[in-house]
Amino acid sequence: MFEAWRRIDYSSGSDLDDRLSRISRVYSKEEIEYVPSVDEYYNDSCWAYRFFYNNSGYIHLGVSDWEGYRSGPEAILDYISSYIERNGVRSVLELGYGVGSDLAFLSKRHPDVRFVGVDRVNRPLKRNAVIRNVHYIRGDFEDVGRFFSTGFDLVIAIEAVCYSPDLTVVDAVADVLSPDGSFIVFDIYNNTERSLTNEERRARVACARSVGIDSFIDHTRAIEQFSRHFNITASADLSGNVLDSLERMENIAAFFFRHPYLARIFNRFNPPAFTRNSILGLLLPACLRNGALVYYMDTLRRS
């Protein structure tokens, strides 16, 4: 499905200086560097993310094909669904289930498969909380070994591994997988394959802190950790494919920062973790275009 991903021409230039300057007119250095807790970020941002990004409850990026066909957040779930069908998967664990929309989508496609979600905050939407073959557990997904004694055929993590900076979650996943189980990861990473300017480093750190983490993980480091427990059966740089899904968020953020006085007034009446999504909206597309950050899909099989 992701064999023909779009490449990005990193030599095409960047307007990061201008974007960082616009952000500094609205936020102080301390506000930009502030790291909300994961609970604070998702509790304050979840409803706004649905309004500004998509109204289906998916808290992850969409993927478009190399011709620009906009298949949205479901494209990732289509890939996982096909994997479940091809490999006869009978049990699936999702790390960081958000509001349960991913598991609701997959459970309808696979009513005979057992689905379990683990998240630090128990917040499935009402319509997602009553599905027969889906069970939600509140807990830290780095400690999933405490919750389960039987192995899962498949573990999925969509933009969740970045919240395990020491990558101990990879060891935890290896503990709960069946002997021939698989681990599918979609996430944002630091790109270590090119030298960065100071502005690019500042921008990618600001992106990370706006979503509740100190910094993103290097993809090369993640691959090293994956390889300790898994064979990497597929790996695709989808950075060019997620840009279309960020267009709406980027446009709203650009409007927000064009009017700094109104933006500061807006910030007074809304939680900081919510309003600082504007920083992500303005900087993440630029960081993906210039290669400061990358978005990867890695499919791993227990070795």
pLDDT tens-digit series, residues 117-167: 998 876 766 666 668 899 988 888 888 877 777 789 999 999 999 999 999
The pair of three-digit structure tokens given for residue 160, joined into one six-digit string: 């969740």
* Higher per-residue confidence, 113 vs 142: 113
* pLDDT above 90 as % of the chain: 58
CATH code for position 216: 3.40.50.150
Residue 35 lies in a domain: yes
Q: How far is 179 from 175, CA to CA, in rounded Å? A: 10
Q: How far is 234 from 228, CA to CA, in rounded Å? A: 16
Whether the pLDDT of residue 297 is over 90: the answer is yes
Whether the pLDDT of residue 303 is over 60: the answer is yes
Whether the pLDDT of residue 58 is over 60: the answer is no
Q: Which residues contact 273 (CB under 8 A, 6 or more apart)?
A: 36, 40, 41, 43, 44, 45, 212
Contact status, residue 231 vs residue 301, Cβ threshold 8 Å: yes
Residue 100 lies in a domain: yes
Contact status, residue 183 vs residue 161, Cβ threshold 8 Å: no
The pair of three-digit structure tokens given for residue 106, joined into one six-digit string: 């997959």
Q: Quick check: pTM over 0.95?
A: no
Interval 46-63 mean pLDDT: 62
Total domain count, the chain: 1
Domain that holds residue 83: 10-302
The DSSP 8-state label assigned to residue 270 in this structure reads S
Residue 231 lies in a domain: yes
Task: Give pLDDT, residue 54.
Answer: 56
Residue 4 lies in a domain: no
Task: Give pLDDT, residue 223.
Answer: 97
How far is the first Cα of the chain from the last one, in angstroms, to the nearest whole number? 24
Residue 2 lies in a domain: no
Task: Give pLDDT, residue 7.
Answer: 59
List, for residues 242-269, the tens digit of each pLDDT value: 888 888 889 999 999 999 999 999 999 9
Q: Which helix (H) or strand (E) holds 48?
A: helix 38-52
Task: For strands 152-158 and 293-302, give the pairing.
Answer: unpaired
Whether the pLDDT of residue 108 is over 90: the answer is yes
* pLDDT above 70 as % of the chain: 83
Whether the pLDDT of residue 4 is over 50: the answer is no
Residue 174 lies in a domain: yes
For the chain, the average pLDDT equals 86
* Higher per-residue confidence, 89 vs 58: 89
Q: How far is 101 from 273, CA to CA, in rounded Å? A: 22
* Higher per-residue confidence, 89 vs 15: 89
Task: Give pLDDT, residue 209.
Answer: 94
List, for residues 174-201, the tens digit of each pLDDT value: 999 999 999 999 999 999 988 899 999 9
Residue 297 lies in a domain: yes
Residue 72 lies in a domain: yes
DSSP assignments along 66-133, one per residue: TT--B--THHHHHHHHHHHHHTT--EEEEES-TTSHHHHHHHHH-TTSEEEEEESS----GGGTT-TT
Q: How far is 135 from 113, CA to CA, in rounded Å? A: 12
Residue type, 93: L
List, for residues 7-37, the tens digit of each pLDDT value: 555 555 468 999 999 999 999 999 999 887 7
